[in-house]
Each structure stands twice: as structure tokens, then as C-alpha cells.
Amino acid sequence: MSPGNLASNPRLFKEADALHSAGYDVTTVVTDFSESVRAFDDELVARASWRVVRIARQRGLNLRSAASALIARTMGGRVPVGLACRAAGGAPVGAMMRSVRAVEADLYVAHYVAALPAAADAARRHGALLGFDAEDFHSGEGVGGAGEDFRMKMVTAVEQATLPHCAYSTAASPLIGRAYAERYGLSPTTILNVFPLAMAPRQPRPRERASAEFKAYWFSQTIGLDRGLQAFVRAMALTRCRVTLDIRGSNRWRHGDTLMKLAGELGIADRVRLLPLAPPGEMVRLAADYDLGLSLETDISESRNYCLTNKIFSYLLAGVPTMLSDTPAQRALAPDLGRAATVVSLADPAAMASALDLICGTEGALEEAMATAWRLGRERYNWEVEQRLLLDAVANAFEAAPAGTARRH
């Protein structure tokens, strides 16, 4: 289960598919909050071979969250887990609990902290197992300030109350897993944000050496100003090669306009484009049209330092090399990617420009990087490889459960 839309959580969709294919009877419980991805949700539900329960948007959710935060602040001591989750903001805790209680299962898996109280409650009620997938280091997502410090305190309260009861846990990167191990004594299995081979192009895109442009690409659900894009735009203005940048995602907060304004001030507005959202299943295919994919995470939080996003693995599966900012998690991954990865500092656009010129201006460099990315996507960084770790973790949890606790289907 997840507090987000189905289309907003590809990990949940892949997990459900893998478990269903392995013979488990799977139900997913998600919300129907974001209108911008609802059509994508409809497509995924139509394709799903397992049951999907969608929770409608809750009126007054923000007001209830604010009231819960006010109550939690006055308590001072131990805050009940449900109240702590509401106080952390944006979670329809009550609706999730009601929906999940109606689903009798042997294992309840929470994606994101907001789903933990409902999953833990259902597991207790039905004498079942509890699992948790950490896509981020959630209690390390705070970016500073009194409000964020309080929110992280509430997230920590939820994690402390529920995670010790998990039969198994997974994490989206080794450093996220290590952080949860150090804080809560868990032993998460790392499940990278990779994708099925079926999403990949059938053959690598040949590089057109006559092309006058070096095409870079970035995508996400929402365009933001904390994703390293400003540094890349500044670097573009310093390169000898003609570098272009396509940015795909929702511009609902007008951050894309801010990036376009910066490009205009630097005299390169004609080389930067904003592209609309596209279906999740198209992300790898769309990335294949480019020469370089960007994963320029910033160090705004502990969680950002530890994450390995699905961008990286979408690019590799598409046969596209990636430029990584030098966060601890991405630095640790880079040696395994070899020629397919270039690590840069967001604090040094001039050095980033030199790295771009080296890739696009050196004979054979881009071709070698693309070939390495293509090979890695097929041999290592795909869901066919990674799902085995998930299935083993779930099977081991059932095998280790006390007799009568769970009944594997």
C-alpha cells in the first residue's frame, strides 16, 4: 500500500507484478489524489493483473493535518502513532486504515511512512506479517527549520513505533538501507529503482556523428529548483560544444519558467525546452533519444545524499550515459558504471562544462559511454535481475514466521 497515486510509485507496481507472477494473491491500496496523473493511473489499473483499491481524495485533509500537528505539539511526550502520522502532513491515515482493514492478507507491505500505521494496524488485526519499503530515508528528509524539525520528529515517532515489528524491509539504495540499519536495527535488502527489459528499446540508438548538438535530458514528476538544473544550465553557457537540455515534468509550481528565465539571461534560451508529463511506462523509451541523462541530486537533506533515483537506471536501460552529482550515494555507484557515468560538482559549473566538452568533443568517448550504458542495462541494472532479491526477501520472511502467523498463498 502507498499514500500516493499508483502512477507515482513504480516500485509498488513492479513489486505487485513480481509477487503476482510468483504465485501470490496481491491487492494494492493506493490513493487517487493527483489529477495530473489520474489518466496514467487508469491505464495502469487496466493493465494490472492484481486487484487495485483506490482511496478518493479526502476533503479537509490539510486542515486535519494542521489540527493534528497542533495537538501533537501540546502533548510533549509520546505521541500516538496515528496522530504522529497525521501531524507529519498530507496522509489520509483514517481512510487508509479503513481500506486496508477490509483486505485480509498474510503480509502487509507499506510504501512510505504514511502507509505504516495502516499496514501495521492491519497486520496486528489479522495476525499477519508487516513489511516496509524505504524508497528514501524518510526521517532524514528534513531540510531545516522549526517546521521541518517537528515533521521529522513525527516521522521518527511513526518509524520507531512500527519498524521493529517488520518481518522484512527493503531499501532503494545501499546507503538508505545502512541509515535504517543504524537508526532502527533493521537489515534492509537493497532493491534498486530499475525497470523491466520490456521497457527498453530493442536496439541501441546509433550516435549521429554529424549532429551539431549534444542532447541532455532530465525528467521527474515535478520540475524543481533543488535538482541541480540551475548549475547545468550555467554550465551549458560555458561549453564549446552546443549542448541542449530537455526538461520533462509538471510545471505546476512554475519552476520551469524560472529555469527558462535563467537560460534567457545566459543567452541560451533557444537550447532549453520544457516538455509535458508522459506515462511512466514511456520513460525509458523517451530517454533513448538523448546523448546524456542527468541525475543531479543536491545535498539539501540527508535523504538526498543517500538516494539513487530511478532516473539513473532509466537512462542505463535506454543505453544513455548519465551525469551524476557527487552525493555520497552516487559517488559510490559511479565506479560500477564505469564509462557510463560522469561525476560532477554542482558548485563548479565551469568544471561541469569541461566534463561536457570532454564527452561530446573527444572522438569515440560518447560511443563508448553509450555502449557501456547499454550493456549495464541488460546485464545488471534491470528488474529481471533485481526482482529476485525481492522475492527471496518475501519468501524468507514467510519461512521465518512462527507457525500459524502467516499462510502463504
- State the average pLDDT over residues 155-163: 96
pLDDT of residue 67: 92
Name the percent of the chain in helix, strand, coil, to the closest 5.
50, 15, 30
Q: Name the nearest CA neighbour of 351 among 322, 370, 327, 326.
A: 326
Burial of 361 (0-12, 13-18, 19+ CB in 10 A): middle
Strand partners, 133: 111, 170
Q: What is the pLDDT of residues 271-324, one digit of tens each?
A: 999 999 999 999 999 999 999 999 999 999 999 999 999 999 999 999 999 999
Percentage of residues in the chain having pLDDT higher than 90: 89
Task: Report d(CA 87, CA 11) in Å as an integer.
Answer: 26
Task: State residue 89's pLDDT score.
Answer: 83
The mean-pLDDT minimum among 60-64, 143-147, 210-214, 391-395 falls in 210-214
**Which tens digits make up the pLDDT trace of 45-62?**
999 999 999 999 887 888
* Mean pLDDT, residues 369-376 taken together: 98
pTM listed for this prediction: 0.95
Complete domains list, the chain, with CATH: 6-194+384-400 (3.40.50.2000), 197-381 (3.40.50.2000)
Measured between alpha carbons, how far is 111 from 103 in angstroms, rounded to an integer? 16
Whole-number pLDDT of residue 57: 82
Mean pLDDT of the chain, nearest integer: 94
Helices (H), 31-185: 38-47, 61-75, 81-88, 93-101, 116-126, 146-162, 174-184
**pLDDT tens profile 11-54:** 999 999 999 999 999 999 999 988 888 999 999 999 999 999 99
Between 406 and 358, the higher pLDDT residue: 358
| pLDDT value at 407 more than 80 | no
Average the pLDDT over 373-400 and give the result.
Answer: 98
Q: What is the pLDDT of residue 210?
A: 53
pLDDT score of 240 more than 50: yes
**Band of residue 209 on the pLDDT scale cut at 50, 70, 90:** low
Cα(368)–Cα(352) distance, integer angstroms: 20
The rounded Cα 6 to chain-centroid distance in angstroms is 13
Hey, what amino acid is at 65?
S
